[in-house]
Amino acid sequence: MTAYLTALATEGCIFSIMALGLNVIWGWAGDLDLAFYGYVAVGAYMAMVTSIGRLPAPAQYVLGWHLPFPLAALIATASAALLALGVGAVALRRLRAVYFAIITLSAVLMLQTVISDYTPLFNGFDGLYGMPQPFNDTLHLAPQAYSVFFVGFALLCLAVVYVLLDRLSRSPFGRALRAVREQERAAAAFGRSVYALKLTAYVLGAALGGFGGALLAASQGAFNPTAWPPTETLDLYVAIFVGGMGNIRGVILGVFLVLVLFQESTRFVPALWGNPNVSAAVREILLGVMILVTMRYRIQGLWPDGAQRVRRPARPAAGTRPVLLEVRGLSKRFGGAEVVRDCSFEVREGTVVGLIGPNGAGKSTAVELITGFARPDAGVVRFAGREIQGWAPDRIARLGLIRTFQLPHEWPGLTVLENMILAAPAKGRDAIWRPFFAAGALRRAEAADRERAADLLDTFGLLEHQDELAGTLSGGEKRLLEFARIAMAQPRLMILDEPMGGVNPVLGARIADAIARLVALGVTVVIVEHDLAFVERVCDVVIVMALGTAIATGPLPALRADRAVIDAYLGEAAVHA
Amino acid sequence: MLRRPSPLAALGSACAMGWGDRVPPRHSATLAAVRPPGPVGIHSCGGTSARTHGAAARVTGMERLGLGIGFGLVTGGVLALSAIAFTLQYAVSRIPNLAFGELLTYGAYTGYLASRWTHNLAAAAAAAALTGSVIGWAINAGMIEPFLRARVRTSAIFIGTLAVSLVLQNIILLAFGGTSIAYPLPPEDSQRVGPFIWTPRDEQSLAAALVVMLLLYILLRHTKFGKALRAIADNRDLARVSGIQAHRIIELTWGLGGLVAGFAGFVLAVTLGTLTPTFGFTFLLVTMAAAVAGGLGRPQGALVAALLIGIAMEVSALYVDASYKLLIAFGLLVLVLLVRPAGLVAGEGGRAAA
């Protein structure tokens, strides 16, 4: 009985470590990785070939070293991480969601085929066996006592992983990851490199998988391809999903509940009607039902990823220097249609510029091109003295050019205050190693950010909502949060894409007021807007676009007399205004 | 000793074996009929694929290529049906349906039962298609649509379809047991058709696939339903506000996808000659490869990619071990996605990636 229980506990700890690894990839970064069990397998194999020595004759495999377990586990972890770096570098660069899932699935299928077929690597389909019990060459424990020791060891490993991940989840790195998961484009608009963050998360997750694999090999003593069908990964998904995606405590709960308790209990279903598959089939049916019930009644899982509380307090923000944006000959064609055509204009320092034009004039596309969310076919965008056309959006954002979207792109699953702190210039603070090294400097910088964030929330009238999830705010409040976030980011230029879109017109005064505050902080503003009354109230200068190009520039009252502008757009609007 | 039997062991072993178990019996029989059986046995790569290999070695290079392409067309035809059905369901709901394989499985098992009772292949095919259709409709109405309406995350619904797959697959396992069932069909002689070698059954399934595809083409291109479907696939919300009854069209699409899938499952089972509870799930992997390589949500893309993958798999099986077939399919997919991230047939503007 004790043997049975220790076996279960060991299993729970090892699978928890793996599930926590997958949780970094799926729960935090939001990537559906189906290759995960491949990393576990690589970890297990590497731990074995570096510690089992030579097997008797017919067995074929590389290395055959006799390293002590900690070293073998280290190599296993590093190998899994390295493999993930390769797969992730290709798959994460351009592929999203389903495509990523399927590419990773193919990757693991290929890995399995190669390992099963090619015996000189890991002895092919027969696999490896004879893994020595870690540390027992010095401990010399009897089997019973050793299994108790091993539970303790696995538990210790889990505890270390837990502490490490707990720290990471509350660090800027964890926050930035969740921002990417919630709203990728906004994360990029605020200077986060989505690719780098996702890749880091992917490698970290895989490394934990590899480590879990090493432990698995040590606890089972043998490993072969039948032990790791790629679909094994789906098991871990179920545990994470039921336990609470994203929350490390929830994930551990999920593993013990789903993979250990539930599966063990259903193993006692008797074989009925002479069908030996009854027990397995019933178990899997119940597993499926369990997922569906979780989805229906508790989608966030048993122990959901709660709002991460951030503590607050007060100090003013420093103004920044306004600069010039220059656009020359910008062009972009989608298929047959030239949406932006030889468009040129400039934005002077410290001004509020309106960008107006009829529907389809290319305003939004121009914004996408300037901010790097689309790549221009031709033309020059000069910002702060540098040519930025073709740069990635996060790089442009770090230079101080930040945009908003037509619909507010808040990070709904993060609190209002977290939304603010994420908007602060990253300056390498969300590097994965920061919570572990140079932690003091990190804490100080974080404290300063919290102060500024709370201060700005106060200015924008959102302080009372600071610990609420941003997704729960009203449309107007989300818009205000967007402005507060921008103020937090201290950009030199911000481009607002239809700030009045989806906002109750009654809030117009409040939004105008918010924009005035940003200008007072020294930010240059470009506003794309349809609401001409609003534009007239807020903007010093107006640029009119039609058919993909800028046709006139000047104060709005003066433009009302311009023939070309009237033809293109204002004619009708001016009459109604 | 701590060895946890995989809870998904049933799925797993099928995956581990890859799609290799699909190949041999039929094709080697085909080849054996062409050439009198002689001493083979040089290749030790196991079972029937070795025989395929050996027999094929005695025809010239070009002939061999022709053979492979002929088999590939048959495989690709069935695969195209399956991939088009998958891609249509994806197009309207934007959810990759992991329970799709069970539509094939249920179609195949129903077809098996029906053909045992009626001894009529046409009736069996109809029963298979009908079953697939009902289940496809039910998966959408019972799970996907309600969760989509509740604005559940796509990845959560994806896991949900996995749950449905587990339940459906294991119901079959309970009812029929895990052993494979042989499809009782009389053996047939194969014949030369140009450079290809097909049995009448091969020709029938290829013809059936062509007819179904033609019907689908007419349905999608020239009917109101088809237009509405494409509008929803392009932009669900926009379609809805333009007065299209999105709800009904989506339901019908799932039913239609199920219909085609059930039929494809039946055709697959007949050409394979055997049935297992996991056979649909295994075929789903290749189906997804074809649908994704073609650009998810694009039926024409799925068709092109399915033929390409089908031919690549069968041709490769003549040169290397058949267990690499799945690898070939996915290798092709990776290659396509690296060159064209939105799939082979990404239209202008390439919205497919979404």
Nearest to B327 among A110, A259, A287 (CB): A110
Residue A212 sits at φ, ψ, to 5 deg, of -55, -40
Chain A positions touching B178 (Cβ under 8 A) are 276-277
Band (pLDDT 50/70/90 cuts) for residue A142 is confident
- Alpha-carbon distance of B88 to A96, in angstroms, equals 20
Q: pLDDT tens-digit profile of B310-339?
A: 999 988 888 887 777 878 888 888 888 778
Chain B CB within 8 Å of residue A41 CB: no
pLDDT exceeds 60 at position B39: no
Cβ-contact B266, B141 below 8 angstroms: no
3-class SS letters over A60-78: CECCCCCCCHHHHHHHHHH
Q: Within 13 Å of residue A559, how many CA atoms lie on the same side as its CB?
A: 29
| B207 is a domain residue | yes
pLDDT of residue B19: 32
> Is residue B5 one of the residues assigned to a domain?
no
Nearest to A231 among B11, B152, B296 (CB): B11
Q: A477 or B237: which carries more pLDDT confidence? A: A477
CATH code of the domain containing B127 = 1.10.3470
- Residue pair B147/B159 in contact (Cβ under 8 Å)? The answer is no
B59 lies in some domain: yes
Give the span between the Cα atoms of A210 and A41, in whole angstroms. 7
**Section B293-305 average pLDDT:** 89
Q: With CB atoms and an 8 Å threshold, state whether A289 touches B18.
A: no
Q: What is the mean pLDDT of residues A160-182?
A: 87
Radius of gyration of chain B (CA): 20
Nearest to B16 by CA among B24, B25, B27, B8: B8
Highest mean pLDDT among A23-27, A106-110, A423-427, A541-545: A23-27
Residues A123, B259: Cα–Cα separation, whole Å: 45
A265 in reach of chain B (CB within 8 A): no
- Which residues numbered 132-161 in B keep a CB inside 8 Å of some CB on A? 143, 147, 150, 152, 154-160
**Contact map slice: A 59-98 vs B, CB within 8 A:** 90, 94-98
Q: Tell me how far CA of residue A216 lies from CA of A62, A65, A135, A200, A239, in angstroms.
A: 20, 19, 15, 24, 18
Q: Is the model's pLDDT at A427 over the cut of 70? A: no
Query: Taking the alpha carbons of A426, A431, A435, A436 in that order, is the dihedral positive or negative?
Result: negative
Nearest by CB to A288, from B156, B166, B178: name it.
Answer: B166
Q: Domain for residue B294, yes or no?
A: yes
B33 and A CB contact within 8 Å:
no
Whether B25 has a pLDDT exceeding 60, the answer reads no
- Return phi, psi of residue A128, to 5°: -110, 155
For chain A, the first-to-last Cα distance in angstroms comes to: 84
Mean pLDDT of A65-91: 92
Q: Name the average pLDDT for chain A.
A: 82
> What pLDDT is attached to residue A568?
67
Instruction: Inform me whether the pLDDT recorded for B65 exceeds 60.
Output: yes
Nearest partner of A236 among A43, A47, A12, A85, judged by Cα: A12
Summarize the confidence of residues A393-409 as an average pLDDT.
83
Looking from the CA of A494 toward its CB, the CA atoms found within 13 Å total 28
Interface touch A221/B155, C-beta < 8 Å: no
pLDDT at A268: 67
Report d(CA A113, CA B124) in Å as an integer: 36
Q: Which pLDDT band holds residue B59 (cuts at 50, 70, 90)?
A: low
Q: Which of A437-441, B75-79, B193-197, B336-340 has the highest mean pLDDT?
A: B75-79
Please list every residue in chain B whose beta carbon sits closer than 8 Å to the beta carbon of residue A225: 16
pLDDT at B10 over 80: no
Nearest CA in chain A to B328: A110
Nearest-angstrom CA–CA distance, B72 and B78 = 10
| pLDDT of B149 | 84
* Number of domains comprising chain B: 1
Percentage of chain B with pLDDT > 90?
32
Distance, CA of B160 to CA of B167 (rounded, Å): 11
Q: Is B332 on the interface with A (CB under 8 A)?
A: no
Work out the minimum CA distance from B145 to partner chain A, whole angstroms. 12
Residues in A touching B1 (Cβ below 8 Å): 7, 220-221
Alpha-carbon distance of A164 to A18, in angstroms, equals: 14
From CA B77, how far away is CA B267, in angstroms rounded?
10
Q: How far apart are CA A393 and CA A91, in angstroms?
A: 20
Assigned token pair, A254? 């999920």
A101 touches chain B (CB under 8 A): yes
What pLDDT does B44 receive? 27
pLDDT at A434 (0 to 100): 74
Radius of gyration, CA atoms only, chain A: 29
Residue B2 lies in a domain: no
Cβ contact, residue pair A32, B163, below 8 Å:
no
A265 half-sphere exposure, CB direction, 13 A CA radius: 8
Q: Is B55 on the interface with A (CB under 8 A)?
A: no
* Average pLDDT over every residue of A107-135: 85
Sheet holding A401-403, edge to edge: A401-403, A493-497, A524-528, A352-356, A541-546, A549-554
For the record, the structure tokens of A50 come out as 């570096």
Is residue B247, in this structure, part of any structural domain at all?
yes
Name which of A104, A109, A183 to mutate to probe chain B: the one with the most chain B Cβ atoms within 10 A of its Cβ: A109
Residues with Cβ within 8 Å of B116's Cβ and at least 6 positions away in sequence, in order, are B184
Highest mean pLDDT among A265-279, B114-128, B191-205: B114-128
Chain A contact for B301 (CB, 8 A cutoff)? no
Give pLDDT, residue A269: 63
B12 contacts in A (CB within 8 Å)?
226, 229-232
Which of B7, B150, B331 has the CB atom closest to A110's CB atom? B331
pLDDT at A58: 81
Listed by number, the residues of chain A in 242-261 with a beta carbon closer than 8 Å to a beta carbon of chain B are 245, 259
Measured between CB atoms, does A103 come within 8 Å of chain B? yes
Mean per-residue pLDDT, A524-546: 84
Task: Give the contacts of B42 (CB within 8 A, at least 6 positions apart).
Answer: B54
Pairwise CB contact (< 8 Å): B169 & A284: yes
pLDDT: is A80 or B19 the higher one? A80
Cβ-Cβ contacts under 8 Å for A540 (sequence gap 6 or more): A351, A352, A353, A555
A198-202, B28-32, B314-318: the lowest-pLDDT one: B28-32
Strand B191-193 to A222-223 pairing: unpaired
Joined tokens for residue B85: 């059905």
B352–chain A Cβ distance below 8 A for any pair = no
- Rounded alpha-carbon distances, angstroms, from residue A379 to A333, A370, A390, A495, B255: 12, 10, 10, 19, 50
Answer whether A335 sits within 8 Å of B178, measured CB to CB.
no
pLDDT at A275: 65
* Chain A contact probe: residue of B102, B326, B330 with most A CBs at under 10 A: B330
Q: Token match 């064609």: residue?
A: A333
Give residue A215's pLDDT: 95
Eight-class DSSP state of A94 = H
Q: What are phi and psi of B58, to 5 degrees?
A: -95, 5
Instruction: Decide if B3 touches A, using CB distance below 8 A.
Output: yes
Q: Is the dihedral of CA A221, A225, A230, A235 positive or negative?
A: negative
pLDDT in tens, A331-364: 888 877 788 888 888 888 778 888 888 777 888 8
Q: Which fold has domain A325-576?
A: Rossmann fold (3.40.50)
| pLDDT of amino acid B29 | 33
Q: Å from B347 to nearest chain A CA?
A: 9
Joined together, the tokens standing for residue A419 give: 């939304």
Q: Which among A11, A230, A335 has CB closest to B15?
A: A230
- Residue written as tokens 């290999």? B53
pLDDT of residue A81: 96
Best A13, A99, A151 member to test B by mutation, with max B CBs in 10 Å, is A99
What's the whole-number mean pLDDT along residues A77-81? 96
* β partners of residue A195: none
Q: In this structure, are residues A552 and A565 in contact, taking their beta carbons and an 8 Å threshold? A: yes
CB contact residues (below 8 A), chain B span 74-113, against chain A:
96
- Which phi and psi (to 5°) does residue A353 adopt? -110, 130
Among A23, A34, A98, most B C-beta atoms within 10 A, so best to mutate, is: A98
Q: Enumerate the domain spans of chain A.
A: 2-229, 231-306, 325-576
State which residue of chain B sits closest to A286, comparing Cα positions: B167
Write the residue in B10, B160, B333 that is nearest to A280 by C-beta: B10
Answer yes or no: is pLDDT of B21 > 60: no
What is the pLDDT, as a whole number, of residue A110? 81
The 10 Å Cβ neighbour count of residue B86 is 30
Average pLDDT over residues A151-167: 94
Q: Which of A234-238, A492-496, A507-511, B329-333 is predicted with the least confidence, judged by mean pLDDT? A: A507-511
Distances (CA, A) of A280 to A554, B54, B106: 75, 40, 20
- Split at pLDDT 50, 70, 90, the class of A404 is confident
DSSP string, A33-64: -S-HHHHHHHHHHHHHHTTS-PPPTT--BS--
pLDDT of residue B131: 96
Distance CA A463, CA A60 (A): 66
Query: A308: pLDDT confidence band, cut at 50, 70 and 90?
Result: low
Q: Is A117 on the interface with B (CB under 8 A)?
A: yes
Determine whether the interchain pair B5/A280 forms a contact, defined as Cβ–Cβ distance below 8 Å: yes
> What percent of chain A lies above the pLDDT cut of 70?
90
Question: Which of A10, A99, A275 faces B292 most closely, judged by CB atoms?
Answer: A99
Supply the mean pLDDT for chain B: 77
Q: Are A527 and A352 in contact (CB under 8 A)?
A: yes
- Min mean pLDDT across A438-447, A559-568, B95-104 is at A559-568
| Average pLDDT rounded to a whole number, residues A465-479 | 83
Question: Are the beta carbons of B2 and A220 separated by less than 8 Å?
Answer: yes
Q: How far apart are the first and last CA of chain B?
A: 47
Query: Of A538, A524, A487, A550, which is closest to residue A318 (Cα–Cα)?
Result: A487
The pLDDT value given to residue A10: 92
Tens digits of residue pLDDT in B218-271: 998 888 888 888 888 887 777 777 777 888 899 999 999 999 999 999 999 988
pLDDT for A203 equals 96
CA–CA distance, B249 with B252 (Å, rounded to integer) = 5
Give A76 or A141, the one with higher predicted confidence. A76
| CA nearest to B293, candidates B346, B243, B245 | B346
> Which of chain B's residues have a Cβ under 8 Å away from the Cβ of A277?
10, 173-174, 177-178
Using alpha carbons, select from B306, B18, B102 the residue that is nearest to residue A113: B18
Residue B168 belongs to domain spanning: 19-340
Residue in chain B closest to A89 (alpha carbons) equals B338
Mean pLDDT value of segment A407-430: 79
**B66 in any annotated domain:** yes
For residue A32, which residues of chain B lie inside 8 Å, CB to CB?
A: 155, 158
A70-74, A367-371, B333-337: the lowest-pLDDT one? B333-337
State the pLDDT at residue B3: 33
A234 interaction partners in chain B (CB closer than 8 Å): 8, 11, 162
Q: Averaged over B79-96, what is the pLDDT?
A: 93
Residue pLDDT, tens place only, A45-71: 999 999 988 888 788 888 888 889 999
pLDDT band for position A272 (cuts 50, 70, 90): low
Token match 């590097």: residue? A431
DSSP helix/strand/coil, A223: strand
Instruction: State the smallest CA–CA distance between residue A355 and chain B in angstroms.
Output: 25
Owner of token pair 């433009």: A559
**Coil, helix or strand for B42?**
coil
- Please give the pLDDT value at position A324: 57
| Number of cross-chain residue pairs from A and B with Cβ atoms under 8 Å apart | 180
